[in-house]
Amino acid sequence: MKTTEFAATISEELQNSVGLISDEEAERLVDGILNAKKVFVAGGGRSGFMAKAFVMRMMHLGIDAYVIGETVTPTFTKDDLLIIGSGSGETKSLVSIAEKATMVGGTIVAATIYPQSTIGSLATFTVTLPGSPKDQSESDYKTIQPMGSLFEQTLLVFYDALILRFMEKQGLDSGKMYGNHANLE
Ligand SMILES: O=C([C@H](O)CO)[C@H](O)[C@H](O)COP(=O)(O)O
């Protein structure tokens, strides 16, 4: 198959998975972001790259948002929201973070393929994102892509869609957001 045909198939897979996300779950998360004092996003490996992209856009929106694990990330409190993106819902470091956040008492949201996973069970609520986990032997979900690639793409598109919904609700546009873009780069 040509590279462009692979790209077209990836795009079809992504369209199918995005079409299965619940609007109610997504809207609950948008409201959670609106009501939180600070927003923290966590993810391992490639899911963590998507977290960074999402937090950057939230910063452009003027939201007090942080990536878990960075040197400038402050204290998580009961008034804050933690979003954990994890396909498997079982990544050990993220389970520990979810357990600690549960003890603190803030709101925890798991964006995961498996709401019944350990991280999903610790969360205040979950958003289910269809896909195959990195260990594909544990799933029947069909994808031509290796490991959790489809989940990670779905996660990024979902995060970008949350940004658009937030912009719509707050009457923000790209021009206003660009004023917050880094100028020392
Ligand atoms: O980096 C990853 C890997 O390449 C899978 O495609 C994962 O994003 C990382 O291992 C985190 O896994 P999950 O918590 O299951 O998303």
For tokens 């780069």, name the residue.
185
CB-ligand 1 contact for 148 (6 Å cutoff)? yes
Spacing, Cα 80 to ligand 1 middle (Å): 25
Give domain 3-177's CATH superfamily: Glucose-6-phosphate isomerase like protein; domain 1 (3.40.50.10490)
- The answer to whether the beta carbons of residues 67 and 43 sit under 8 Å apart is no
Predicted complex ipTM exceeds 0.85: yes
Ligand 1 binding pocket includes 86 (Cβ within 6 Å): yes
10 contacts: CB under 8 Å, gap ≥ 6: 144, 145, 150, 153
Would you please indicate which residues are annotated as catalytic (active-site) residues? 152
Ligand 1: distance of its center to the CA of 27 in Å? 25
Q: pLDDT (tens digit, 9 = 90+) per residue, 104-132?
A: 999 999 999 999 999 999 999 999 999 99
Task: For residue range 77-104, list pLDDT tens digits in order.
Answer: 999 999 999 999 999 999 999 999 999 9
Q: Quick check: 108 and 84 in contact, CB under 8 A?
A: yes
